[in-house]
Every structure is written in C-alpha cells, then in structure tokens.
Amino acid sequence: MKALVFHTFGGPEVLKLAEIAEPVLAPGSVKVRMRAIGLNYADVYRRRGSYHLVGEPPYILGYEGAGIVEETAPDVRGVKVGDRVGFADAPHANAELAVVPADRIVPLPDGIGFETAASVLLQGLTAHYLANDSYKVRPDDKVLVHAAAGGVGQLLVQLCRAKGARVIGLTSSAAKREAALAAGADEVLLYGGDWVSGVLRWSADAASGEEPAAGAGVDVAYDSVGATLPDSFKAVRTRGAVVFFGMAGGDPPPVDPRMLMDTSKTLTGGDLWNHVTTADERIRRSESLFADIQAGRLKLEPPKTFPLAEGAAAHRWIESRASTGKILLIP
C-alpha cells in the first residue's frame, strides 16, 4: 500500500509517499480503507520531533480519519466489513489502509460523509467536552473564545451559541475575524492592542470608548494560546473561570494561587483524552455532533484538501497559519 512516511525529523520536505507493506490486523482491531484523513497541528509537532513517536522509521503520521471497514479481527463484534466509520485517536492514518482498535471506531450515520467525519471528529470532540464538561455553558453566559477562527474555535463558538450563550472571539487578522463572525460569534476582536479592555466593555454592554463598568468580565474564557493566560484572567469576572487547553502561542507563565483566592476565579485544564475514555463515551459525543450537523446547528467550513502524495504541501499550508478550516489528506 501507499503511505506518507518520513525517516528523519525536520520540515515538510521529509515527507514522501512510499510503497510499504500493509499493516497487520491485530486482535480486537479492524482494517480501514481510508477515504479522508484529518491533518492536525500535532502531526507537525511529531514530524519535527517535538512529540514522542513510538517505534522506528519509517514513521507514519495521522491519528484521525474516515473510511470503509475492509477486514475485522475474529474477536471483533459490532463492526463488520463494509461499514462506514471514522476515528479520532488511532495512529498511522496517513496511508491507504489503517488498523484501528475496534473500541475507537465511530459508526457514520447516513448523511455524514467521509470528509465531514474527518473534519469534525477530533476538533468537534474537543469543543464538545470544553462546552459541556470543562465549563458547562449556560443560557446567557458571556464566553470568550481564543483563536475563534481555528478548527476548534469555530466549533466551540457554535456549540456555545446553540446553548444560548453570547460569544466574543479573538483572532489574529481581519480575514480570520470574518470567519469567526460567520461561525456565529457576536463580536470578534484582534490580538494586539488592549483587547482585554475591549472584552470588558463588551461584557458590560458599555458603549465603545467608555470605561468598563465595575464587575465587568466574561463568565468563562477558553484559552488555547497559553501565553495569553494572564490576560484571560483579567477578562473574566470575579468568580469566573478560565479553561486552559492549548499552548499555540507558547507556554503560559505560572499562575499565582493568591490571585485565584482573592478573585474567586477558577483555572481548569483540558485534555480530550481525559474525557473520552470509553467506546460508549466516544460514540455518544460523536452522535451528538453528527446530530447537530444534520440539524443545521453546527456548520463546517469546507475543508482544504490535498492528495496524500502532496502531504508536504499540506504541512506547509497548516504551518502558514493561513487556513481557517480543516485540512484533509485524500488517499
């Protein structure tokens, strides 16, 4: 079979399409003929050598995708040959065939295509636990979403709005601001300058240019940037919450617990794999996302697609930070 492989860590140029042996079906697993593969920034970190990879070269990236079950191990129940499926947490997806543990398989309902599934599973599951578990968003909550034009950001904006919350986003450019507004954000500010004051004015419904009212601040800030964590705390109200779930802008500085005590603010960490720990949990959350898509409550920006053979170009595109939607590799 053909797979996108690399033998040494480095830039996108290390990625090459190669003919390799088909993966061996293990007990409790199924073999999936890939139709769409999600590209995530974690793949860039692994390619660079920043994230640990198990085994020896050639390495194969990719943890998310969708396709058709081609073979099942004898001990597998509930999944059969010909099933349309997706997954969000199985390695070596950047290939024509991938072996996936059966308990990580997500059945695809009619009306959910392969590209849709590969676009929504990893980022959608992340947005789902953030809005329902890390902080349970309620009607009329005021929510700040960092990187609101990104894959998780756009989905999180929509899930919060569907719960009746008001959402203010932060983006790095005017074009990304428009993408976040199109996703449903009530307001979007740009990084740079004093965005904290802008969030406080918005949260207090003060007119532009006025000083923020006493007690202003959002109920929750979802921070995936990291280095912005101190400002996120300034933007939330007394007894508000900050959910920290990424470090796209660098490591955050230490948080003073005295500040948390004095303001009664809460800091919560977020990692998807602490919330999606069983097959039932994975399927339940995925079905909720699929239902929102089919009902029109969750809209996905059309993905940017690259042939698997052009994986290096796809990596250059995601590293350019120019994209606002999902990037897919198509075998």
Residue with tokens 């350019």, as numbered in its chain: 320
d(CA 134, CA 193): 29
Q: What pLDDT, on the 0 to 100 scale, is given for residue 207?
A: 38
| Residue boundaries of the structural domains of the chain | 2-120+274-330, 139-269
> Rounded to 5, what percent of the chain is helix, strand, coil?
35, 25, 40
Q: What CATH number has the domain spanning 2-120+274-330?
A: 3.90.180.10
Residue with tokens 């998780």, as numbered in its chain: 152
How would you label 242-279 residue by residue, b for 16+ Cβ within 10 Å and e otherwise? bbbbbeebeebeeeeeeeeeebebebeebebeebbeee
Q: What pLDDT, on the 0 to 100 scale, is given for residue 255?
A: 94
The answer to whether the beta carbons of residues 260 and 267 sit under 8 Å apart is yes
Number of Cβ within a 10 Å radius of residue 92: 18
Q: What pLDDT, on the 0 to 100 scale, is given for residue 324?
A: 73
Query: What region does 23 belong to: left with phi over 0, alpha with psi -120 to 50, or beta?
Result: beta
Q: What angle do CA 127, 62, 271 make, to 5 degrees?
A: 30
Phi, psi dihedral angles at 291 (to 5 degrees): -65, -40
d(CA 269, CA 223): 10
> Do 139-269 and 2-120+274-330 fall under one CATH topology?
no
d(CA 86, CA 300): 17
Q: Which residues contact 188 (CB under 8 A, 6 or more apart)?
A: 148, 168, 169, 170, 171, 177, 180, 181
Residue 321 in tokens: 């930070």
Q: What pLDDT, on the 0 to 100 scale, is given for residue 211?
A: 55
Q: What pLDDT, on the 0 to 100 scale, is given for residue 322?
A: 73
Tell me yes or no: is domain 139-269 CATH 3.30.460.10.
no
Give the pLDDT of the chain (331 residues) as one tens digit per residue.
Answer: 999 999 999 999 999 999 999 999 999 999 999 999 999 988 998 999 988 888 889 999 999 999 999 999 999 999 999 999 999 999 999 999 999 999 999 999 999 999 999 999 999 999 999 999 999 999 999 999 999 998 899 999 999 999 999 999 999 999 999 999 999 999 999 998 899 999 999 999 743 445 555 568 999 999 999 899 999 999 999 999 999 998 888 888 999 999 999 999 999 998 999 999 999 999 999 999 999 999 999 999 889 999 999 999 999 999 887 777 799 999 9
